[in-house]
């Protein structure tokens, strides 16, 4: 059965409004609200993303006044060694190897006194 472009637009709009209201909603729940099959919801959602009517998720940091984290951007000779070393450290919240002006990025709960003699610049996040 062929569906008109106007109907597709209405379905995409309904999906957009429901995702705005509840971003983590299931296909089945969307289908019940809109009144169509969940497979059709999946197809319309993919169409809306392809047409950029709906944009994908964004990475956001939850910041609070009392949330204190130290961010370290390091440029060291052996980032692989430090990456493996701090992988097991409980104070390290996040760490990753990077490309550019630094080659290691570390976010920690506590102030870290030294990185094997590497000078570091710290800043509150």
Lowest mean pLDDT among 38-52, 56-70, 84-98: 56-70
How many structural domains compose the chain?
2
Domain of 29 in residue numbering reads as 5-50
- Arithmetic mean of pLDDT, 69-96: 82
CATH number for position 29 = 1.10.10
Report yes or no on whether pTM surpasses 0.85: no
In this model, does residue 102 exceed pLDDT 60? Answer: yes
76 and 43, same domain (yes or no): no
74 and 118, same domain (yes or no): yes
Question: Residue 93 has what pLDDT?
Answer: 84
- Arithmetic mean of pLDDT, 87-101: 82
Specify if 104 maps to a domain. Answer: yes
The residue to which tokens 């940091």 are assigned: 61
Torsion of CA 44, 45, 48, 53, to 10 degrees: 130
CA separation, residue 114 to residues 82, 85, 118, 121 (Å) = 12, 13, 7, 11
- Arithmetic mean of pLDDT, 9-27: 90
Q: Please, which pLDDT band fits residue 43 given cuts at 50, 70 and 90?
A: very high
Specify if 94 maps to a domain. Answer: yes
Question: Residue 91 has what pLDDT?
Answer: 82
CA separation, residue 57 to residues 19, 42, 43, 60, 122 (Å) = 11, 16, 18, 9, 29
Question: Residue 96 has what pLDDT?
Answer: 82
Specify if 120 maps to a domain. Answer: yes
9 and 43, same domain (yes or no): yes
82 and 43, same domain (yes or no): no
74 and 120, same domain (yes or no): yes
Specify if 65 maps to a domain. Answer: no
* CA dist., res. 13 & res. 7, Å (int): 10
């Amino acid at each position: 059965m062929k569906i008109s472009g106007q109907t597709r637009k209405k379905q995409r709009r309904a999906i957009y409004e429901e995702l705005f209201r509840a971003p983590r909603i299931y296909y089945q729940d969307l289908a019940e609200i809109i009144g169509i099959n969940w497979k059709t919801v999946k197809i319309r959602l993919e169409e809306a993303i392809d047409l950029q009517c709906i944009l994908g998720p964004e990475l956001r940091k939850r910041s609070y006044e009392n949330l204190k984290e130290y961010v370290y951007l390091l440029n060291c000779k052996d980032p692989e060694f430090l990456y493996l070393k701090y992988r097991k450290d409980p104070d390290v919240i996040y760490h990753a190897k990077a490309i550019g002006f630094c080659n290691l990025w570390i976010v920690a709960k506590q102030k870290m006194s030294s990185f094997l003699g590497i000078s570091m610049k710290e800043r509150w996040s």
